[in-house]
Amino acid sequence: MNAIIAITVVLTTIAGTVVVLAGHPKRQALTLSMFGLTLTVLFVALQAPDVALSELGINALVVPLIILLVAEKIRARR
Amino acid sequence: MRILLFCCAGWLLLIGCYGMVTSRNIIHTVISLVVCQSSTYLILLGIGYRSGATAPVYSDTTPSKVVDPVVQALCLTDIVVSATIIALFLALALQTHKRHGTIDPDELTALRG
Amino acid sequence: MSAGQLAPLVVAIPLAVAASLAAVGRWLPRLVRDATAVAAASASVGLSAYLVADTGHSRAVEWLGGWLPVHGKSVGIVFVVDRLSASLALLVTSLVVVALVYSIRYFDDVQSHYHVLVLAFLGGMAGFALTGDLFDMFVFFELMGTAAYALTGYKVEEKAPLQAALNFGVVNSLGAYLTLIGIGLIYARTGELGLAQIGGELQGHHADGLVVAAFVLVLTGWLVKAAVAPFHFWLADAHAVAPSPVCVLFSGVMVVLGVYGVFRVYVTAFAGVLPADDVRRALLVVGVLTALVGAVMCLLQSHLKRMLAFSTIAHVGLFTMSASMLSADGVGGAAAYVAGHAGAKGTLFLCCGVLLSRTGSVDEIDLYGRGRRMRFLAAVWMVAGLALAGMPPFGTFIGKSMGEDALAAEGYHWAPALFVAVSALTAGTVLRAGMRVFFGVGDVVRRDAPAGPEGEDEEPETTGSRRLRAVPATMALAITALVGGSLAVGIAPGLPTALANAAAQFLDGADYARQALSSAPAAHLPAEHVSAWTHEGVLLSILSVILSAFVAVASGFGSRLARRRRRSWQLVTAGAGGFQRLHSGHLGDYVAWLLLGVAGLAALVGVPLR
Amino acid sequence: MSRRIRLGVFAVGACAVGTMLVIAFTGLPSFGTQRHPYGDRAVHMSVHKQTTSNVVSSVNFDQRATDTLGEEFILFTAVVGTLVLLRELREEDERDESQEKRQIAARGLPSTALVSYVMLGVTTLVGLYVVAHGHLSPGGGFQGGVVLATAIHLLYVGGGYAAIRRARPVPVYEILEALGAGGFVVLGLAGTLLTGDLLANVLPMGRLGDILSGGDVELLNLLVGVEVASAFIVVLSRFLEQYAVVGARRPTTR
């Protein structure tokens, strides 16, 4: 179990770093979605299915969607 | 394992802050804030973990070893609620773009001095 | 029903009314919405007043949901109300009533969202003051934050409020996450979330890195809210642009709740593990820094609301200094100071609101002499300015005098001088602005570029966006109530004694735990008699009033003085300009300063323990 | 501050905070520790006194229900705040109706429509299941609400903006959201009236494992589900509207 947790922790950290370093908001929305997925897996590994479900719905789906909408909107206004 | 998990959480917190400090785009700032926030869940759930235990849900009434349910309760509401706060910030970013014509923090100059 | 069982209603009633207004408010006439909101806030005022009356000798304790502790251990959340927290709740709720009354003639409010936000804000602030659970504090902290961000950005048609709300929101959220990490760390060590339970587990242990880090991180969130330097940048932005009645709440109570949180958490949870001397020193340093930064920046402003915001920062520094003595005098003095300051500062903000409605500007340079006809405002402004200087018999005088006593009693003999200097500087600036605006006295400054936030037009905040011809009765009533309140705090007989005793109760962490966990009867505290009317106190206050008049004249005629001594003046202005440029409105700067502040605080608390 | 100075200040602060965190982490109990006093008490209470088999729900909606009340109102306030911030301003009221219609018509393809309608049905069912079983299995009002809100927006993929506007009268959800938050606090106040304690349990407990069991937990769960679902529907609709309608018009020059 610990090995799975360790691997997902490292993956999550990498994914989070990529989110921050990604330049454009649209690319960030996609990487944030990936980051949300790795976190979901990590939370499942940490025996927290309730939290994993929230994380999946929110940071893997809803928040990236809103970010995409806002980024598109701002691009359209330019 | 302890050091790995928590130091990774600390790294996420600081890299999120780095993102906010160097950001050239308010949306990017807000997303970096989301990364910072994720580190808090990592820390809380790491603290509540118990080796060899299952999730705190009982399929029948015989109690077995389960992980700490309290930290999970704290996290799961916070995740959902924070998403709406993030939405609030993004709404602010949208209006900022409408009024200022830019969302680059370096070019937002309404509050100097 | 016991007093304890009523305590959660202070929070629950406004929240219930907020939800109902959001549901049906769109079909109600404006008057009904106003009345409902005022009635809900007034109900909370009544309940808090009852709690103040009831908590003289013992605390009101309520285990929510009836989850009483078994053998001192519980799974529930507890509200523990002592006289100080009840008084704070009373101040919060009363100010909300004043703000709502003032807002009756304030902006177009579609679907009563404004009322909903203010009531939710009230619920968050009252909950933060009354709860005895660390994570619950965090929740209510976030609730008041969320309402506050939205209220700051309420005027979406202008540039500055949007940027300010973002700065405020992001910096506060980051502070909140650090607090949550601190809560996690302390939970890992003690396995508890209640303040009293954490205190019990930590009692007598060695203060290692984890405890220090947890303490510093938890404090960070509260200090960001308290706008203590170097976490203060967001405050000046937010207070300068939020609607004026909301500023009354921001300056009067929201920042104060941050200071309250710091001391509440230290006394109940960490007092058994971190030595008082260590924490006192750290908070005193922070307080002095904040007071100086606020006072200097205040002097440099010409935008009236931003000026008042920096004055609030300076006063938060003074409250922190006074309370950091951790003595009955110090904390009680801070409480009196807070109440007196809330009245005086609230008055000034409401005057700004009226000025904005009548002239469309809140810049002292633009408004030069344009307030000559506004007799009522002129009188109130100057009186409130003098109250800010600590003129007897205003509440600020009581607080300032008690605080100076407390600091001197601990051997900090330089502290009263700092109190005098800071209150003279901030009050002098306010008086200077008053002279310019209402009497047309002082230099006429010509400038090329508009300075300060929002050089362009500000929209008047009143209904129908017409400019007001006179001060409406509701606004005059609200302003009068605030000045009167500040005065009443000063002249109420026995108030210093009552507050000092309340502070002694607040500082007794062991008794807090006993009452919270085993509903034991309160320890009998020896009643102390305190008077603020000492010779030194009165003399120092008169001195600060005289000095503030001097500051007002000197800065009002600054350019004439500058002509005589060119060389040294240039140095001063260059230094001041550099200092001012640090307040850049840049979010990245604020985040960098926040991290540096956490590091500094950790060094202040942690290094002496090695 | 210039970019370089800002980075310098950040670097100093971040190094110090990082050091502080590492020192703090070495003081933590070992990973996977067996000592969780609060957690054990919560499990004990949930199993022996309550009839919810999901301990997390018991903590959320019963033992620490006040936290959830606060969180509910954060959600509620944030949504009201978003509505305030994205409200239509006077100058934007003059809508360009024709452009709006064109924008609406441009969306939606028949093949994706069918798939998305099927998906909509499935997702809605999943969402309802997750909400209704919150006291028994992982999930509950918070997670189920998010699923339900996402489900409705699948319509956008299939039917375009017009379809979603029909299925989603936003004011109704605004009111539902307020009622969800209000219901939570009203049920809490019922506790005050009946037992004296805010948020005390007032409903019959039922039998462990039943879908109608757990007393207040079940009802609070449903209320949270209503609130979260409507909250996200409202928020998403506002952003979608900004994107699809307001964005189609020429940018306001100011």
ipTM: 0.94
pLDDT at position C209 is: 93
- For residues C285 and C277, give the distance between their C-alpha atoms in angstroms, rounded to a whole number: 12
Count the Cβ atoms, other than its own, within 10 Å of residue C553.
17
pLDDT at position D252 is: 43
B54, β-bridge pairs: B66
C73, β-bridge pairs: C70
Of B51, B69, B84, the CB nearest to D79: B84
> Is the model more confident about C22 or about C454?
C22
Contact call for residues D140 and D65 (beta carbons, < 8 A):
no
Chain B partners of C160 at a C-beta cutoff of 8 Å?
110-111
Q: Name subunits touching A (3+ CB pairs < 8 A).
A: B, D
CA-nearest of C539, C118, C477, C532 to C335 is C532
Size of interface C-D (CB pairs under 8 A): 235
- For residues C568 and C483, give the distance between their C-alpha atoms in angstroms, rounded to a whole number: 40
Measured between alpha carbons, how far is residue D128 from residues A44, C464, D114, D229 in Å?
Answer: 22, 45, 22, 10
Token code pair at residue C302: 């010409």
Cβ separation of D150 and A54 shorter than 8 Å? no
Mean pLDDT within C8-26: 94
Rg over CA atoms, chain B = 19
Cβ separation of A50 and D54 shorter than 8 Å? yes
CA distance C574 to chain B (A): 13
- For residues C404 and C406, give the distance between their C-alpha atoms in angstroms, rounded to a whole number: 5
Q: What is the mean pLDDT of chain B?
A: 90
Token code pair at residue C468: 């007001």
pLDDT > 70 in chain C, percent: 94
pLDDT > 70 in chain A, percent: 97
CA distance C195 to chain B (A): 16
Long-range CB pairs of D88-96 (<8 Å, 24+ gap) are D89/C156, D89/C157, D91/D252, D92/D246, D92/D252, D95/D249, D96/D248, D96/D249
Chain C partners of B112 at a C-beta cutoff of 8 Å?
452-453, 581, 583-585
Full DSSP string of B92-107: HHHHHHHHHS---GGG
C78, β-bridge pairs: C63
Partner C contacted by B22 (CB < 8 A): yes
- pLDDT of A57 above 50: yes
C133, β-bridge pairs: C194
Among B80-84, C340-344, D101-105, D156-160, name the one with the lowest average pLDDT: D101-105
Of A16, A23, A66, the CB nearest to B38: A16
Amino acid identity of residue D20, one-letter, is M
Chain A partners of B94 at a C-beta cutoff of 8 Å?
70, 73-74
- For residues D154 and D156, give the distance between their C-alpha atoms in angstroms, rounded to a whole number: 5
Q: Is the dihedral of CA D67, D70, D73, D75 positive or negative?
A: negative
> Is the model more confident about A43 or about C446?
A43
Contact call for residues C149 and D83 (beta carbons, < 8 A):
no
What phi and psi, each to the nearest 5 degrees, are found at residue C352? -60, -40
pLDDT at position C361 is: 87
Of B17, B47, B69, the CB nearest to D42: B69
Token code pair at residue D211: 């879908």
- For residues D38 and C74, give the distance between their C-alpha atoms in angstroms, rounded to a whole number: 8
What is the value of pTM for the model shown?
0.94
pLDDT at position C436 is: 92
Cβ separation of D14 and B92 shorter than 8 Å? no
Among C77-91, C311-325, C433-447, name the one with the lowest average pLDDT: C433-447
For residue C213, give the 3-state DSSP assignment.
helix
Cβ separation of D239 and B6 shorter than 8 Å? no
Q: Name subunits touching B (3+ CB pairs < 8 A).
A: A, C, D
Question: Directed axis angle between helix C276-299 and helix C415-434, to 10°?
Answer: 30
- pLDDT of C360 above 60: yes
Token code pair at residue D147: 């699923």
- pLDDT of C459 above 70: no
Token code pair at residue C385: 């300015």
- For residues C138 and C123, give the distance between their C-alpha atoms in angstroms, rounded to a whole number: 13
Residue spans of chain D under pLDDT 70: 50-51, 89-112, 158-159, 208-209, 245-254
C61, β-bridge pairs: C80
Mean pLDDT within B79-89: 94
Q: Is the dihedral of CA D6, B14, B19, D242 positive or negative?
A: negative
Partner D contacted by A77 (CB < 8 A): yes
Contact call for residues C394 and C344 (beta carbons, < 8 A):
yes
Cβ separation of A69 and D239 shorter than 8 Å? yes
- For residues C63 and C125, give the distance between their C-alpha atoms in angstroms, rounded to a whole number: 19
CA-nearest of C9, C77, C17 to C44 is C9
Chain C partners of D66 at a C-beta cutoff of 8 Å?
8, 64-65, 77, 131, 136
pLDDT at position C582 is: 87
pLDDT at position C456 is: 44
Going by pLDDT thresholds of 50, 70 and 90, the confidence category of residue C610 is confident
Mean pLDDT within C132-145: 96
Full DSSP string of C524-559: PPPP----S--HHHHHHHHHHHHHHHHHHHHHHTHH
pLDDT at position A73 is: 85
Cβ separation of C602 and D20 shorter than 8 Å? yes
pLDDT at position C308 is: 96
CA-nearest of C425, C398, C339, C436 to C538 is C398
pLDDT at position D110 is: 61
- For residues C43 and C104, give the distance between their C-alpha atoms in angstroms, rounded to a whole number: 18
Amino acid identity of residue C161, one-letter, is P
Partner A contacted by B14 (CB < 8 A): no
pLDDT > 70 in chain B, percent: 95
Mean pLDDT within C21-31: 90
pLDDT > 90 in chain C, percent: 73
Going by pLDDT thresholds of 50, 70 and 90, the confidence category of residue C574 is confident
> Is the model more confident about C585 or about C563?
C585
Chain D interface, best mutation among B36, B88, B96, B102, by max D CB count within 10 A: B88
Partner A contacted by D158 (CB < 8 A): no
